[in-house]
Amino acid sequence: MKRVVTIITVIAMIFNLTACGSKAEQRFESSFLELFDTVTTIVGYAPDEKTFTEYSQMIYDRLEEYHQLYDIYHDYEGVNNIKTINDNAGIRPVKVDQKIIDLLEFSIQADQLTNDNVNIAFGSVLSIWHDYRTIGIDDPLSAELPPTEELQEMAKHTDISNVKIDKEASTVYLEDPLMKLDVGAIAKGYATEMTANYIIEQGFINGMISVGGNVRTIGTKFDDAGSKIPWSVGIQNPDQDSTQPTVHILQLEDMSLVTSGVYERYYTVDGKRYHHIIDPETLMPSELFQSVSIVCKDSGMADALSTSIFNMTLEEGKELIESLEDTEAFWILKDGTYEYSTGFETYIRK
């Protein structure tokens, strides 16, 4: 088991005069690179470094469990994960941890909510793109687009009703032998949410977990006088040549912010960029936006919505967001224009 190192120690010391009397709480930060193929950062308040390191370790251990269960590329000894389910498509049902069944049920609900725009049964199409992208990034000169026929052939094997979940037996079976699950659009946010809920129960009540930029805030932070103030969470500027790293700063308390953008994971064919968010209808990268950001309570839902809204037109996306309670969205269009859902601006720090 990996031991988390508290890389950064005390940033600020505050005196938190709460109901339980005068108690000094310090702000700490830790981070690690091992999980979900990204950087995880934890920020929060604890009475001392030892306590904070314990919280960080608990968060690490829980996230690591999700990381292994939701992995579609690697095997882990003694673990049946999503890859095991994929490997057994059309062969046999796989007995899995309840955490996998919970994720799949959550994902199926999210897909229904978003008019089939975040389909976890889309893995066979996404894996073609993944392979071509990987080759194209490793060796830009031999970068190619996936053949349309191949994409269309695989798109026939994406019917989510062929994912058979037996809750009593705790098994998952893909009836279509050519089907694959890909939970990449949802697993990180879902795992972050579950881990946040778990660590709150352990007493970590003022903090923030970011798994690769999927940000879940827990309670508030404190200003120098010890008063509660919301966390300040920036939204990445798609223009990475800018010295301005963010386009907006949001003030969040117990809320999640997830941004789906096309500025990081892409490859280039004949001078044109092809990113990783694939429209289920065209089977090609969605071309409308540079990024879509979602604010809502549940980090798993924020993750699922950011991808699905990315695949919708602005009008469709707005209609969906306005129909959801306590859920807001911010679009950066291809030409750089900003669009907002009606309540989004209340979160923007003035």
Partner 1 sequence: MGNKMLKRNDMIMMGIVLLIALISLGFFFLNKKEGSAVIITVDGEIYQQTELDQNNTIKIKQDNGDYNEVIIEDGYVWMTDADCPDKLCVKHNKIHYDHETIVCLPHKVVVEIVGGEENTVDIIAK
Contacting range for partner 1; rule: CB under 8 A; set: 61-69, 237-245, 271-279, 307-315: 237-245
Binding-site residue total for partner 1 (CB under 8 A)? 44
Contact call for residue 241 and partner 1 (CB under 8 A): yes
The window from 31-39, 70-78, 96-104, 280-288 that contacts partner 1 (CB under 8 A) reads 31-39
Q: Stretches 77-85, 107-115, 204-212, 338-346: which one binds partner 1 (CB under 8 A)?
A: 204-212
Compute the CA torsion angle 324, 102, 38, 318 (nearest 10 deg).
-10
Asked whether position 228 contacts partner 1 by CB under 8 A, the answer is: no
Distance, CA of 147 to CA of 252 (rounded, Å): 44
Q: Does 52 bind partner 1 (CB under 8 A)?
A: no
Cα angle for residues 65, 84, 59 (degrees, 5° grid): 10
Residue 199 sits in the site that holds partner 1 (CB under 8 A):
no
Q: Whole-number minimum distance, CB 213 to partner 1, in Å?
A: 4
Region of 292 please: left (phi>0), alpha (psi -120 to 50) or beta: beta
Is 227 an interacting residue with respect to partner 1 (CB under 8 A)? no
Closest to partner 1 by CB, 108 vs 211, is: 211
Nearest CA among 88, 39, 96 for reference residue 69: 96
Tokens of 97: 């941890």
β-pair type (163-166, 171-174): antiparallel
- The stretch among 60-68, 118-126, 165-173, 213-221 that binds partner 1 (CB under 8 A) is 213-221
Q: Are strands 207-211 and 40-46 parallel, antiparallel or unpaired?
A: antiparallel
Q: What's the angle, vertex CA 210, arms to CA 302 and CA 276, rounded to 5? A: 60
Smallest distance from partner 1 to CB 294, Å: 9
Closer to partner 1 by CB, 27 or 180: give it: 27
State the chain's maximal CA–CA distance in angstroms: 68
Number of helices (H), then strands (E), in the chain = 8, 18
- Contact flag: residue 245 with partner 1 (CB under 8 A): yes
CA angle, 301 then 305 then 306, to 5°: 120
Helix (H, G, I), strand (E, B) or coil at 184: coil
Q: Contact region for partner 1 (CB under 8 A) — 67-75, 156-164, 243-251, 271-279?
A: 243-251
Residue 37 lies near partner 1 (rule: CB under 8 A) = yes
Q: Per CB under 8 A, which of residues 274..303 are in contact with partner 1? A: 293
Q: Does 340 bind partner 1 (CB under 8 A)?
A: no
- Check if the beta carbon of residue 47 is closer than 8 Å to that of residue 223: no
Q: Which of the stretches 79-87, 208-216, 318-326, 335-343 binds partner 1 when contact is defined by CB under 8 A?
A: 208-216
Q: For partner 1, which residue of 35, 96, 185, 208 counts as binding (CB under 8 A)?
A: 208
Exposure on the CB side of residue 130, measured as CA atoms within 13 A: 10
Residue 129 in the binding site for partner 1 (CB under 8 A): no
- Smallest distance from partner 1 to CB 250, Å: 8
Closest contact distance (angstroms) between CB of 134 and partner 1 is 8
How would you classify residue 161: left for phi > 0, otherwise alpha for psi between -120 and 50, otherwise beta? alpha
Structure tokens at 63: 């996230």
Q: Does 169 engage in binding with partner 1 (CB under 8 A)? A: no
- Residue 143 contacts residue 136 (beta carbons within 8 Å): yes
Residues that bind partner 1 (CB under 8 A): 5, 7-8, 11, 29, 31, 33, 37-39, 41, 43, 137-138, 208, 210, 212-215, 221, 231-237, 240-246, 249, 257-259, 261, 263-265, 293
